[in-house]
Structure formats: C-alpha cells, structure tokens
Structure 1
Amino acid sequence: MAVGLIAEPDAPMDLARYLAEELEPELRRRHPGLGWRFVVAEEAGAPADVIGAARDRLLDENWDLAIRLTNLPLSEARRPVVAQASAAHSVGVVSVPALGAVNVRRRGLPVVADLVDRVAGMVDEAPDEDDRRRGSRRLRELAEEPGEFRVSRLVTGNITLLAGMIRANRPWRLAIRLTRALTAALAAGAFALVTPDMWLLADAYGGVRLTAIAVVSMLAFTLTLIVGGKLWERARRPGQRRQVALFNITTTVTVVSGVLALYAVLFVLAVLLAFALVVPGLFGASLGHPARFSDYLELAFLTSSLATVGGALGAGLESDDAVHEAAYTYHRAG
C-alpha cells in the first residue's frame, strides 16, 4: 500500500516524518499480509477544499491512500474534531493543532492508524472484526497490481464495501445541503400545484407519460450534480482504474439515491398540499369531471417532477464546493 503523507511546514511536517517511520508496525498488526510504503510530501499553505486537494495529489502521485496533516481546524456539525475521513475519496485529514501542544507524536500515531481504518470504509466509531476484514479486503483491492479490469467484477466483488461507502455519504441528506436547489424545487412545485393548466396536463398525460417525465426530471437533477458539480473522475493512469471506478460508482449511487429521496419527499408534500389547497369543486370544474383521488395523485406526480426540474436548475447555481460537500460526508475519526 502506497500512502502519501501530505504535510504543511513545521509541526505537520515533523509529525509526517515520524509517522513515516512508526506507522508500519501498527498497520501490519491491524491488516496482516499487507506491506506499506509511506511517502512524505510537503505542501505550503492549506487549500479551501483540503480533501479534494489531497485526492488530486493522490491521483497525481499514484498513491493508494492519502493523509493530509494540516494546521487548519476541522469541524463536524460546528464542533471541532481532530480528524476526518472520506472513504469515497480514499483520503483522511488530521488537524495537528487539535492533537494538543505536547505529546503530539504519541497522540498522532493512533489517530492516523484509525484514520486508515476509516478510509478503508469502516465508518462506525467502533468497528468489529468483520468491519476490519472488509476494510483489509478493500485495501488489498486497491493495492493489487493492474490487470484485466471489469467494472462488473469490481461491483460484484465489493458489494458490501460499496454499500458501506454509500451509507457513509448519507445520500438521503444530499438535497438538504443544497439550499438553492431545494428552494428552487419548492418554488417550482408550489407554482405547478396551484396552476389550472397543470391540473389539465396531469389529467391528460396518463400514468406512462407521467412516469417518463418523473424519470427525465430525476435524470436531469442527477446529471446536473455529477457533471455540473464535477463529481466524475477519470483515471490518469491504468493502475488507477479500480480506485477511480469504485469512487465513480459510489458517487453515482449516492447522487441517484439522494435524488430519489428528494423526489419521494416532494411527492408526499405535493399530495398533502394538493388535498389542502386544491378545492375539489374548482378542480373538477377545470377537469370537466368530478375530481377523484387518482386525479390528486396525478397532480402530485406532475408537481413533484416539475419541482425536481426546478431543483436541477437550482443545483446548477450551486458552487462546486457546495455540491462536493453535499455529495460526500466526511466522518469524524480520532
């Protein structure tokens, strides 16, 4: 396993040099059968997106994992933390000042060793033996020499790991983190719900066409996030294809799951608001027949699809950093 230790000058660099010598015995104990190679790289200054920058350096240098040692403070839910891990990116970050003023090396060694476990896909606070075995399996997968590569084989051989990585990203929270997309979705849905022309269209389209519109709207939102937010990676060398494919599969399933969750919530809200705001007599008069329960469901269906399209337009206004933060959850470690 090639592990890059990216460090800023002074205290982070001192810790990186120490870790390069002392980490191997601890990691060999945790993951028997794996060899380790540590590369210390100095980078002056801290980028705004620490994890993204570490991921770029990982791909440039052809490492398997990257650990960034920074002087920046880290936080989760506005609380300071020592370290963060992103299993999807194969990257971890340690805030060296959070280790304290004394015994930095002694405290930093177990933190970084735990960080490797988190990066290996073990996102629980206390991973059990099965978690460790799965993490070791993923590390071996990343460390394998390049050979015949098939995405289907990668998926079938790593279903459990992919599920853990996707769960780590918490896709059901994706839309909540995109405030502009969520605002646009709600505005578009409210407009569609109270517009008589939408009532007529919902009644005329039928189930097949409404389903097709729903699929297209969710696909538009998904592509806006992945393409517009630059979430898709390309392998820069043949040896990176496994890791990059695993990352892209995780990203795609995370975004699709998040969009499906958003659509489900919008549909439930549309049903409730349709019955609350659309008067049956007025609704029936517009349709030319008494309003039935199915008519309200069709209206909610179309409303949800239009709201999702509005959300896609709003997502296009989000910054790349906002999309990355929404798509990937960085877990506390250490």
Structure 2
Amino acid sequence: MASLGLVSDPDFPSHVADSLAESLPRYLTERLDEAEWSIELVSDPVAAGRSSGKEILDATERQRRLHGWDYAVGVTDLPLRQEKRPVLADIGQEHERVGVISLPALGGFQPQRRARQLLASVLAELTGNDDRTDNGLYSPPTEVLAPIRRERASSDSIAVRYRSTRRRGRARLLSGMVRSNTPWRLVLGMSGALAAALATSVFGLTSSTVWQIADMLGPFRRGLLVVLAVALMATWLIVTHKLWEKPRYTADREQRMLYNSSTALTIVTGVGCLYVVLFAANLAGSLFLIDPELLSSSLGGSIGIGNYLGLALAATSMGVAAGALGSGLEDDATVRRAAYGYREAQRRANQQQTEQREQTGYPDQAGVRQQTEQQDQNGSREGTEQDSDTER
C-alpha cells in the first residue's frame, strides 16, 4: 500500500483536498500500478505563507518526512506563473517524491474533478508511470479552452511542469482566483453592511413614496438602478478598505492586473449575491405584507406581479446602496476575511502591516526576522496539532 499526503492551504484548498481524499483511492487504483492507496490530509498555515512553487515544494517535503509518507502533494490557491504562463503543477527535482498543484489555474468550474485528474498525472510522474492520457486531463474541450502542456523545467528544484497557454490560460486562471476567494461569503461576512441593507430595504417596502417612484421607473431605468447600486457598493468596498493592489507590492504588471481583476470580480460577484438574496427577501416580504388594494389605492390602477417586482427591486437597490455606507463601519480585517481566501487575506494583511510600520518607523531587522521565525514555528505547531484531527 502506498501512502500519500495532501498538504493544503487552509480554507478553499482544504475543502478541495478533503473532497479528493474521499474519491482518490479508488480513482488512483484504477489508473496507477499500486493496488491500494492511503490518503492523509494536512492543512499547513506555514506553507500557505510561501510565495513560490519551490518554497511550497520544500514545505511539502518537510511534511512528507515528518509523517513518513511515500509521496506528498501540496494543494495551494497561490496563482503560480512562469514566463507569464499559468502553472498547473510542479514536480520536484530536488525532492523527487513531492509535487504541488495550483488550484486557480484549473479554473472556476468543477475544481474538484479537475484537481483529481491533475493529481493523478502528478502521481504518475512521481511513481514513474508514463501513461498520462487516460485521466481526462487532455480532453478536447480543455484543448480548445485552455490547452495544457507538459514540459521539462529548466530548474534545479523542479523536474516537470504542467502549464497552460498564456492568453486562454490567463482567463481560466482569473476565474480560478475568483473561485478561490469564495465571493458568496461576502453576503454574511459583513454584518454592518447587511444590517444597513436590511433596515433600508424595510423602509423602502413601507414607504408609499418609494412605491410611486418604483412604479414610474421603466425597464431601462430599473436595470440602470441595479447596475449603479452594485457598482456603488463594490467601488466603496475596494476604495474604503484599500483592496486595490499597488505597484510597490507587485512589480509584475500582469500579475498585478490579475490580482486587481480578481478582486473586482470577487467583490462584484459577492455584492451581486447580496443583491439577489435581498431581492428575494424583499419580494417575499412585499407579497406577504402589502395588500393589493392598499398598493392599488396608492398607485391608482390595477396591480399585478410586475408592480411587486418593481417595488422589491427599488427597495433592494436602496438597501444595497445603504449597505455600501454600512460597510464603512467594518474594519479592514473583517472585509478581507469576507472577500478573500486564507492565503490572499494573509497577504493583504501583511501589506497593511508593512504600511503601518513605515508610518510609525521600522523596527530593527533582527527583531522582525525573529518575530517572523517565531510566527512560522507557532503556525507549524498549530498546523501539526490540527493535523491529528484531520488525518484519515
């Protein structure tokens, strides 16, 4: 029996690794020479602080030796790129029994299925099985949307690399970065914004003036109202909480564009989810609370479902606009946790800490280095303690 360790970043990669652990044993048995596989999971916050494929491979190798696994694969949501091309996986040269897969490069749809296919190819490399055509990784749709290429890496630390093409792969990478941020969590992650949105929506549903304004709006202006409300809250969140990536932190212009594009899409998607949920609640509330005769007497005409839809849309737009102001009551850390996954939230927090240190004066470098090493050691101990509960 061969043992495999999956060393994942916390948050979304851990969920993917947990799904893989359930389906992998049988999947690998059908495609690789080993008769049986045992899978163990480790969520490593220290590895989540690394910023390159080589560093993640080193951290994964340390976990492999610590647990005595035959093979180990890191599962990360770090968007890896090489020569401006998205990297799906790296197989170690210096560490011959470890590899790493980058979830964002797999795209935003069906990440578990694609991660399983890619992991089977990575394990085929690690075990010396050359059959890489049987797992669906090179399917015709993939070749059309974002072709995957296997190549020998010109590096002392990486033996084999799986990468995508630059242009088509970049679109898939961007969608994967948004998926890793799980934007729908934005709905419940900011209690202040949600409370302001709900309170304002209730006011809109009970105001006869809002009823009349909603009835006068045509389809075009209603659609424009929705776009403006979502754009207002998204822009407010990005600007107020300093979510825009600055050139000083990411010198690579294309990488910076990816970070900023993923932030904008994540926030817009999250606010869109908030709008849909709030609209459904307002529509249900208006149908339940507002009698058709009362609405008819206020609007002066026959009442249909279209009137209730327009009313719910107007109240929702008011609520989302108020939610933008309510989000100003949230601290930056709360917004980062709601808008990003663990790794990206930590990276943004480190940037903010750097700015704060610059404003107050740098501590001595030895103190900074000692503090960083202590945090890494604490994170490693915490990750090891958590591993005992998640191993399987």
Which range, TM-score by smaller chain? 0.5 to 0.7
1:202 aligned partner = 214
1:127 paired to 2:115: yes
CA displacement at 1:83 relative to structure 2: 2.7
Q: Secondary structure at the match of 1:83?
A: coil
3-state DSSP class of the match of 2:101? helix
- Counterpart residue number, 2:224: 212
The question of whether the paired residues in 1 share the 8 Å contact of 2:237 and 2:327 is answered with yes
- 1:90–1:120 Cα contact (<8 Å) kept: no
**Aligned AA for 2:321?**
V
Q: How does 1:84-103 map to 2 (within 5 A)?
A: none
* Aligned: 1:82 with 2:70: no
Partner of 1:117: 101
Q: Indicate the residue corresponding to 2:182 in structure 1.
A: 170
Q: Which runs of 5+ in 1 are unaligned?
A: 1-79, 144-152
Q: Which residue does the alignment assign to 2:237?
A: 225
CA–CA separation in structure 1 for the residues paired with 2:68 and 2:104 = 18
Cα deviation 1:3-54 (Å, max 9, x = unaligned): xxxxxxxxxxxxxxxxxxxxxxxxxxxxxxxxxxxxxxxxxxxxxxxxxxxx
- Map Cα deviations across residues 233-284 of structure 1 (whole Å, 9 max, x no partner): 0223884212211111111111111111111111111111111011111111
CA distance in 1, matches of 2:104, 2:316: 38
Q: Is the 8 A contact 1:85 1:118 kept in 2?
A: no
Distance 2:117 2:303 in 1: 58
What is the identity percentage for the equivalent residue pairs of Structure 1 and Structure 2?
Answer: 34
Aligned counterpart in structure 1 of residue 289 of structure 2, from 277, 286, 311 = 277
SS for the counterpart of 1:310 is: helix
Map 1:132-147 to 2 at 5 A.
Answer: none
Contact 1:221/1:259 (<8 A) preserved: yes
Letter in 1 for 2:192: R
Match of 1:106 among 55, 61, 66: 66
Confirm or deny: 8 A CA contact 2:183 2:270 kept in the other structure: yes
What is the root-mean-square deviation in Å for CA atoms of aligned residues? 4.3
Partner of 1:314: 326
- State TM-score, norm by structure 2: 0.51
Matches within 5 A, 1:47-66: none
Q: Deviation of residue 286 (structure 1)?
A: 0.7
Quote the offset at 1:288 in angstroms.
1.2
Change (3 A) 1:191 1:86: farther
CA contact (8 A) 1:270 1:303 kept: yes
| Aligned mates of 1:276, 1:321 — CA distance in 2 | 38
List gaps (5 residues or longer) in structure 2.
1-41, 77-99, 123-136, 138-145, 156-164, 344-382, 388-392
Residue aligning to 1:18: none
In the alignment, the residues of structure 1 paired with residue 209 and residue 329 of structure 2 have an alpha-carbon distance, to the nearest angstrom, of: 28
Paired residues of 2:104 and 2:176 also in contact (CA < 8 A) = no
Letter in 1 for 2:257: A
Residue 128 of structure 1: how far off its partner (Å): 3.2
What is the identity, as a one-letter code, of the residue corresponding to 2:216? A
Q: Secondary structure at the match of 1:233?
A: coil
Deviation at 1:168, TM superposition (A): 1.3
Distance 1:199 1:154, change over 3 A: farther
- Conserved in 1, the CA contact under 8 Å of 2:245 and 2:260? yes
Contact 2:104 2:175 in 1 (8 A): no
> What is the rounded CA distance, in whole Å, between the counterparts of 2:203 and 2:329 in structure 1?
20
Q: Which residue is equivalent to 2:306?
A: 294
Q: 2:195 aligns with which of 166, 170, 183?
A: 183
2:263 matched to which residue of 1? 251
Cα deviation per residue 1:169-199 (whole Å; 9 max; x = unaligned)? 1112212111111111111101100111111
Contact 2:104 2:174 in 1 (8 A): no
Q: Structure 1 counterpart of 2:213, which letter?
A: L
What is the TM-score when the length of structure 1 is the normalising length? 0.59
Alpha-carbon distance between aligned partners in 2 of 1:108 and 1:242, rounded to the nearest angstrom: 40
SS of the residue corresponding to residue 217 of structure 2 reads helix
Partner of 2:83: none
Q: Tell me if the contact between 1:193 and 1:274 (Cα under 8 Å) persists in the aligned partners.
A: yes
Structure with greater contact order relative to length (CA < 8 Å, sep ≥ 6):
1
Q: Is the 8 A contact 1:90 1:119 kept in 2?
A: no
Q: Compared with structure 1, are the counterparts of its residues 237 and 174 closer, same or farther at alpha carbon in structure 2 (3 Å cutoff)?
A: closer
